[in-house]
Amino acid sequence: MSHKFPSDAWTQSFGRVINASDDYKQRGKNWRAGAVSFIVTAAPEVGMTQDFGMFLDLHEGECRSARSCDLTEAEKAPFMIRAEYGWWKSVIRGNLEPVRGLITGKLKLKGDLTVIVRHIGAAKSLAECASHVETIFLDEA
Amino acid sequence: METEAQTQYSFRMPVKLVFGVGAGGDVSAEMAELGRRRAFVVTDSSIASSGSAFDKLIKGLGPRLAGVFKEVTQDSGFEIIDKAANMAADAEADCVVSVGGGSVIDTGKGICVALKNGGSIRDHMGVNILAEPQTPHIVLPTTSGTGSEVTNVAVIYDSVEKRKKNLLDHHIYPNTAVLDPEFLVGLPQAVTAATGMDAVTHAIEALHSMMKNPVSDALALQTLGLMNQWLPVAWAEPANIAARGHTLVASNLAGAAFSNAMVGLCHAIAHGLGGVARVPHGLANSIALPHVMRFNLEVSPGLYDQAAKALGLSAGEDVAGWVEGMARRMELPMTLKDAGVAEDSLVEVAEAAMTDGAALYNPRPVFEPDEIMPLLRLIWAGN
Ligand SMILES: [Fe+2]
């Protein structure tokens, strides 16, 4: 079933795709650095009037929970990645590799980049999982 | 080799460059242009007592001098930055003037962030999270090496976790780089050689990076030409002001090249060697670079053809030999063994290298420590 991105339903579906992925189970098995939150910045042009937060509790190759969250909660995650709607769309479509996105300033990270780099395989696997979520993009709905 | 980055790229170089023998005496004019009145000078104790060029800078600042902080160390960390930022705030400084090599400049970048945002620099670590321009920063490099005066990264030591962390942000590019060759006169030969080879490595890695583009290529190739001609002269004649000037510009161009194109596996290994075996950064690069180049050539023939042309060599395969020739001429150790690295530390070096972001942009992809162990053994033994 398709879900609008971003939404709570999309985030939950993302969590299910992660947990169904043998690739993530393998490549994310050493991730013990805590939760990751994603913020999609408000984009009135596609009908998003407020920032949208997603919270993923990732641990040793498993996604223990995935849901939307408010910004205060997102801030509490040890890793918070923020980007504009269009860049998230590029990541989900597989057109923007996440670390390249960080370095070129399209994605913004609060947290320690070296930890992300050490788990680059897990990060790439997560991006692949996102591309497998059946997604309806707001600007295409 | 056509990469994604070559068909679609951007290039950022927002730093004003001022070059001139004695230009350090005129920092006040740069402050005035930035609308600043009170300079907080950041340096280390040896530069502060080095005499002529530094004294000229302080004298030139006159009433605009708010304070001098000379406690920067090799692995400058959170505590030093916080201490300096507090002092700068107490002195009501409105800009930072960093005078030194990579550690000093990166410390200066951290101070600018802490001074602007308050709190500890610890609270501001991340990638591109700063929302606005930071405290204005004028930089005077004293080595022809790191190119940190034109980059958007600061490497900061975390003494709690005992490792280096990166602050990477477009808002930490310095505003102005004042390139004054007088600051390099008298730099010891070993430092000239090692920091010069670091700049050479920046150029070569910018040329082989997956993020290379025509603009970074142009800067990197010019770097190689200048270093080929002038680095051995600067090494042999420490007071040769022309050689100091040309190598200073070369390291600056290389800095602009790699801050856009990124670096590769050689830097990942050098960072690993620095952390695990305390090998100075430039020396680690100098030893590792030719081997990394040959490693990359195995999967990507033609990778160094442009470089060969810029150096007047007949084939790309000869460039690694040119690197070795430069290092040998300046009497640098040629192997990790000669540099005093214990062979049994290589496994740890490999692990550290694979956690380094630089490895991501190497043209020959490597992900696991095992994949680079044969290469590391070669770098250790030399053959
Ligand atoms: Fe370097």
Q: Are residues B365 and B334 in the same domain?
A: yes
Banded model confidence at residue B75, pLDDT cuts 50, 70, 90? confident
- For chain B positions 328-357, those within 8 Å of chain A (CB to CB) are 354-357
Cα angle, residue B367 at apex, residues B283 and A110 outer, rounded to 5°: 85
Task: Tell me whether residue A67 is in a domain.
Answer: yes
Per-residue model confidence (pLDDT) at position B2: 43
Mean pLDDT of B21-34: 97
Mean pLDDT of B366-373: 90
Task: Tell me whether residue B11 is in a domain.
Answer: no
Tell me which of A17-26, B2-11, B58-67, B172-181 is least confident: B2-11
Residues belonging to chain A: 141
- CB-based contact A2:A110 (threshold 8 Å): no
Contacts of B115 (CB under 8 A, 6+ apart): B40, B85, B88, B89, B93, B96, B134, B135
Q: What is the mean pLDDT of chain B?
A: 94
Q: Are residues B129 and B49 in the same domain?
A: yes
Please count the structural domains in chain B. Answer: 2
Task: Tell me whether residue B205 is in a domain.
Answer: yes
B166 CB neighbours in chain A (<8 A) are 113-114
Amino acid residing at A87: W
Per-residue model confidence (pLDDT) at position B1: 41
Per-residue model confidence (pLDDT) at position A68: 97
Q: Judge if the upstream peptide bond of residue B365 is cis by omega within 30 degrees of 0.
A: no
Q: Judge whether B302 is closer than 8 Å to chain A, CB to CB.
A: no
Mean pLDDT of B54-78: 95
Q: Are residues B212 and B349 in the same domain?
A: yes
Q: Which of B134, B163, B184 is the last residue of a domain?
A: B184
Q: Which of B153, B184, B215 is the last residue of a domain?
A: B184
The three-state secondary structure class of A40 is strand
Instruction: Give Cα separations from A92 to A47, B142, B353, B372 (angstroms).
Output: 19, 45, 29, 32
The structure's pTM equals: 0.88
- Pick from A36, A76, A99, A110 the residue to mutate for testing the B interface (most B CBs within 10 Å): A110
Range of the domain at A60: 3-135
Instruction: Give Cα separations from A135 to A50, A138, B129, B347 (angstroms).
Output: 20, 9, 28, 43
Mean pLDDT of B90-107: 97
Q: How far is the CA of A16 from the centre of ligand 1 (A)?
A: 42
Q: Are residues B279 and B138 in the same domain?
A: no
Task: Tell me whether residue A141 is in a domain.
Answer: no
Per-residue model confidence (pLDDT) at position B159: 83
Residue B65 has pLDDT above 90, yes or no: yes
Instruction: Measure CB to CB from residue A109 to each of B129, B163, B211 and give the nearest one.
Output: B129
Task: Tell me whether residue B268 is in a domain.
Answer: yes
Task: Tell me whether residue B234 is in a domain.
Answer: yes
Banded model confidence at residue B6, pLDDT cuts 50, 70, 90? low
- For chain B positions 51-80, those within 8 Å of chain A (CB to CB) are none
The alpha carbon of residue A107 is apart from the nearest alpha carbon of chain B, in Å, by 8
- Pick from B6, B127, B271 the residue to mutate for testing the A interface (most A CBs within 10 Å): B127
Q: Which of B334, B269, B347, B265 is nearest to B299 (CA)?
A: B265
- Domain of residue A111, CATH code: 3.30.1050.10
Residue A115 has pLDDT above 90, yes or no: no
- Domain of residue B375, CATH code: 1.20.1090.10
Per-residue model confidence (pLDDT) at position B3: 47
Query: How far apart (Å, rounded) are the C-alpha atoms in residues B253 and B9?
Result: 18
What is the CB-side half-sphere exposure of residue B96 using CA atoms within 13 A?
Answer: 37
Q: Are residues B119 and B215 in the same domain?
A: no
Per-residue model confidence (pLDDT) at position A117: 81
| Partners of A48 in beta bridges | A43
- Domain of residue B145, CATH code: 3.40.50.1970
Banded model confidence at residue B165, pLDDT cuts 50, 70, 90? confident
Q: Are residues B179 and B198 in the same domain?
A: no
Query: How far apart (Å, rounded) are the C-alpha atoms in residues B264 and B304?
Result: 14
Instruction: Give Cα separations from B267 to A7, A84, B48, B286, B381 (angstroms).
Output: 41, 31, 30, 10, 19
Q: Are residues B98 and B223 in the same domain?
A: no
Per-residue model confidence (pLDDT) at position B7: 66
Amino acid residing at B367: F
| Partners of A62 in beta bridges | A59
Q: Are residues B280 and B307 in the same domain?
A: yes
Q: Which of B167, B184, B201 is the last residue of a domain?
A: B184
Task: Tell me whether residue B10 is in a domain.
Answer: no
Q: Judge whether A136 is closer than 8 Å to chain B, CB to CB.
A: no
Q: How far is the CA of B267 from the centre of ligand 1 (A)?
A: 6
Instruction: Measure CB to CB from residue A103 to each of B125, B262, B354 and give the nearest one.
Output: B262
Q: Judge whether B160 is closer than 8 Å to chain A, CB to CB.
A: no
Residue B15 has pLDDT above 90, yes or no: yes
The three-state secondary structure class of B72 is coil
Cβ–Cβ below 8 Å for A82 and B357 = no
Range of the domain at B273: 187-381
Q: Is B8 exposed, middle or buried (0-12, 13-18, 19+ CB in 10 A)?
A: exposed
Q: Are residues B270 and B340 in the same domain?
A: yes
Instruction: Measure CB to CB from residue A113 to each of B10, B127, B211 and give the nearest one.
Output: B127
Q: Are residues B303 and B210 in the same domain?
A: yes
Query: How far apart (Å, rounded) are the C-alpha atoms in residues B118 and B116?
Result: 6
Instruction: Measure CB to CB from residue A117 to each of B125, B163, B355 and give the nearest one.
Output: B355
- CB-based contact B109:B89 (threshold 8 Å): no
- Pick from A104, A106, A124 the residue to mutate for testing the B interface (most B CBs within 10 Å): A104
Instruction: Measure CB to CB from residue B128 to each of A99, A108, A117 and give the nearest one.
Output: A108
Cβ–Cβ below 8 Å for B166 and A113 = yes
Q: Are residues B339 and B217 in the same domain?
A: yes
Using a pLDDT cut of 90, give the percent of chain B over it. 85
Query: How far apart (Å, rounded) are the C-alpha atoms in residues B202 and B205?
Result: 5
Q: Are residues B109 and B228 in the same domain?
A: no
- B182-200, pLDDT tens digit by residue? 999 989 999 999 999 999 9
Task: Tell me whether residue A54 is in a domain.
Answer: yes
Mean pLDDT of A51-67: 97
Residue B5 has pLDDT above 70, yes or no: no
Cβ–Cβ below 8 Å for B126 and A111 = yes
Task: Tell me whether residue B8 is in a domain.
Answer: no
- B300-347, pLDDT tens digit by residue? 999 999 999 999 999 999 999 999 999 999 999 999 999 999 999 999
Tell me which of B153-162, B170-179, B239-248, B270-279 is least confident: B153-162
Asked if ipTM goes beyond 0.85, one says no
- A23-35, pLDDT tens digit by residue? 999 999 999 999 9
Instruction: Measure CB to CB from residue A113 to each of B10, B168, B211 and give the nearest one.
Output: B168
Banded model confidence at residue A118, pLDDT cuts 50, 70, 90? confident
Banded model confidence at residue A137, pLDDT cuts 50, 70, 90? very high
B128 CB neighbours in chain A (<8 A) are 102, 105, 107-109
Task: Tell me whether residue B6 is in a domain.
Answer: no
Mean pLDDT of A32-50: 94
Longest dimension (CA), chain B: 59
Mean pLDDT of B219-229: 98
